[in-house]
A and B are shown apart, each in its own frame.
Chain A
Amino acid sequence: MEKLHYDQLGETLYKETLDNGLKVYILPRQENNKTFSIFTTNYGSIDDQFTPMNEDEVVNVPDGIAHFLEHKLFEDEEGDVFDTFSRRGAQTNAFTSFTRTAYLFSSTSGVKDNVKTLIDFVQKPYFTKESVAKEQGIIEQEIRMYEDDADWRLFFGLIAALYEKSTVRVDIAGTVSSIQDITKDMLYQCYETFYHPSNMVLFIVGPVDPDEMLTLVKENQAGKTFKEQGEITRIYGDEPETSYKKEDTLHMNVQTPKVLLGFKEANDEYPLEGLSYELAMQMLLDIMFGPSSEAYEEMYREGIIDSSFSTDFTMERSFGFSAIGGDTKDPDALVKKVRETIRSYKQKALSEEEMAITKKRKIGSFLKQLNSSEFIATQFTRYEMNNDDLFEVVPKLEALTLDDLEKVLQRHFVDDHSSIMKVLPK
């Protein structure tokens, strides 16, 4: 087992890759009551076109199937896995993102049993025609719930305006009609392709003994057999460079208009590798539009924005985009001000001082986030699957130069790659 010390952060991480390819990470935190563990597969809503395991032809599966599969894994022959965890006082949950599906629990007792249950239920698919039909009703209500959520509609509306071909433009849960096409055989096909241990990461954080935990996971895995698996072939489609729609509007039952301006990444190579690029983008958004920026102050004073105003940068395998905006009485004035600010930053040089203070702020924010076991486990896994290391955030941040930021600024914020999404009152 590899042991990694992060002196400045006061953390020690244990790591091992098992024979079947499963990566296991253990972060002991003896001061905590809670153990949090998350078991993640590198498979999400965008993976709808792929070559199934042991087949030759590419299949195209219905929208929302990764999320549907997430729901269905909680059921086995004996019943509901929620019950098994609950009986030990443990909380369990799961989520599906564009590129990952994760299963998790937290508990303050019975941790070893809970870790075993977590691995076992995810590694034991059990789908029947009846149980698939039953789930369609529940997921329909989940989709309807999001349909009433104006912020969610705004965000997904922006993505659908930016992207023309990529499945990222489709809601993670699919649509009420697409989930009707899901069958138990399709679920097994996706499962066989994407839930091989070599495509997965297990992270455990809490008051645990790393040796004991690793032994338990190893023994559990040794008792199971998995077919050899090669590279997974995924097809993302050819996304054009320019945004699909310059602007889109949705009328909803809301009091206040909402607007987002977004930019999608170009298809050519990134000027910095993953984590550094992401940090540089976050810093730029912060410098231009964070609460201590000139633009923020001006818009707040004019009443164009309120505390809902925010910026966001999403970068995952095969896509990346920024989103800037929030609730506003005047969507056009907000967009105009944001565009002007970007234009002026692209024309003038960034200052050392701006960069230094932004780094300081980001380091502090990172330390705050490290208080959370959930944050560490979830984000570490995310970076690991992108071949990055969460605990390298501070050194990577410190290494960024003005030149790096300048390159990212000029590359990312291109008008042709941008879209505006508005949600307006009916």
Chain B
Amino acid sequence: MDQSHIRNFSIIAHIDHGKSTIADRLIERTGTLSSREMEDQVLDSMELERERGITIKAQTVRLLYDSKNGEQYELNLIDTPGHVDFNYEVSRSLAACEGALLVVDAAQGVEAQTLANVYLALEHDLEIVPVINKIDLPSADPDKVKREIEEVIGLDASDAILCSAKTGEGIDEILEAIVERVPEPTGDDKKPLRALIFDSYFDSYKGVIAHVRLMDGHIRKGDALRMMATQKTFEVTDVGCFRPAPVEVGSLSAGDVGFVAGSLKNVRDVRVGDTITSEKNPAPEALPGYRGVTPMVYCGLYPVDSGDFDNLKEALEKLQLNDAALVFEPETSVALGFGFRCGFLGLLHMDVIQERLEREYHLELITTAPSVIYHVHRTDGEMVPVDNPAKLPPPQKIDFIEEPYVKATIIVPNDYVGAVMQVSQEKRGEYSSMDYLDVNRVMLVYHMPLSEIIYDYFDELKSTTRGYASLDYELSDYRPSKLVKLDILLNGDPVDALSTIVFSEQAPRRGRELAAKLRELIPRQMFEIPIQAAVGSKIVARENVRAYRKDVIAKCYGGDISRKRKLLEKQKEGKKRMKAVGSVEIPQEAFMAVLKIH
């Protein structure tokens, strides 16, 4: 289709503000799928995404819309992941669009997540169409939300569309606004090909499939193409668009959104943000904005049953086929044996991978507490990145340590400002700014260590503000901190998988809390188990798991031996979820105990 009849847009919304429902209505209204084919929220296709109500992988769909002006338009909806972990992916999806719907809940107003994404969209010069959703709610206050959009974001909200994705009200207006207000693409299909990869996934028949937005030029089946960052070359075997299932169309040209495949076996060759160009007639310059993925959070993943190591490896390799952000390498723990150190974009990403391993690959895993990457400057002048507390060099070899800081943006009703400030200070936050969004909502900005965010900042924020606070953060810089390694000794032996790196002043308190938590989590065994928390050779806390003294079920059930055996089997089964470290049996959750102290 000619570019004047193409509109590329995405939807920006805070979680739960109705992005997926609006997408569903658009698909339904344009007849892309009949309502019989409509499954609720078709775009969130992964089971986990449905359960959590979030989008993990971005998806795309081409809608053919017959406008009131009598013409047919190709509307490409580029769905964006809705979580801070996937910020870079969001930015690439936005770079593929000319416009965005900004969806705000009519009852809840602008949230931190919304803001972050709107700013991203504005950076990409997108035309933003404000949509106020859920106007059917009794608590809806569209005028207040309009004011918020104007005052907080600085967007003209006078022609914001009022809509209810639930009842279908306003959906036609949205479609018309996309045609009228979102600019048409302005690429040149005579110029050498430049296609932006904004997502990719692995298909077991076609290999890696790249989601692309063509800026200039065209792609036809059989073309020889090249990735400008990875220099990988391939021949196009499939080219098409999503409706929402992939449909072959034979060619794509400037302004179009679709997919391209061609005997690519590894998602690592198809990097989000990379530019595809023609092998014969390459573009002189790649599209801007590409960067490699850098994991922010690391943890150890170990099979409970050491015989599952190869299965875990295979499962990680399979997940990696579809997830270029997941990195892993084998590591050994004295306590846990053979496993993998895995890097993730953030905690959600980590959770999702872990759940998929357990659910889809039926692996029983022990996850060690997540760690950020510390920059350890050694006395010999060299800087080593450390993502595993157990690998921290001995104190005498350390000159100083730097840790990653984030800029955290918190939006909260003004009644809770004091509470937020207190929690943020406790978490070593440095106050940066405070602005009133309206008479009763405040936006606070803090700089704080990423490790505190991972640890329990968000939980505490939520609980001290009764769930009203919304948080967004982005990595800002590395700053020197007084950090020490807190070790845990069970029965006198250090358990490497339980070591953490903590702020030195907090070490005694964290040690006490951790030891107390472990005492709760570690069941009584045949002997007493001393739990010690230590910084270097200094013991900062001590607890005891008392030995269990008596465990005898005396009745012999009138000769019903099978019943007795089954009972013993069941008890034994309960013990299987434990990991024997030396002579001590430790339940899985103990390794995450460091995150569960409150």
Are A and B co-members of a single complex? no
Residues of A within 8 A of B (CB): none
Binding site for A on B (CB under 8 A): none
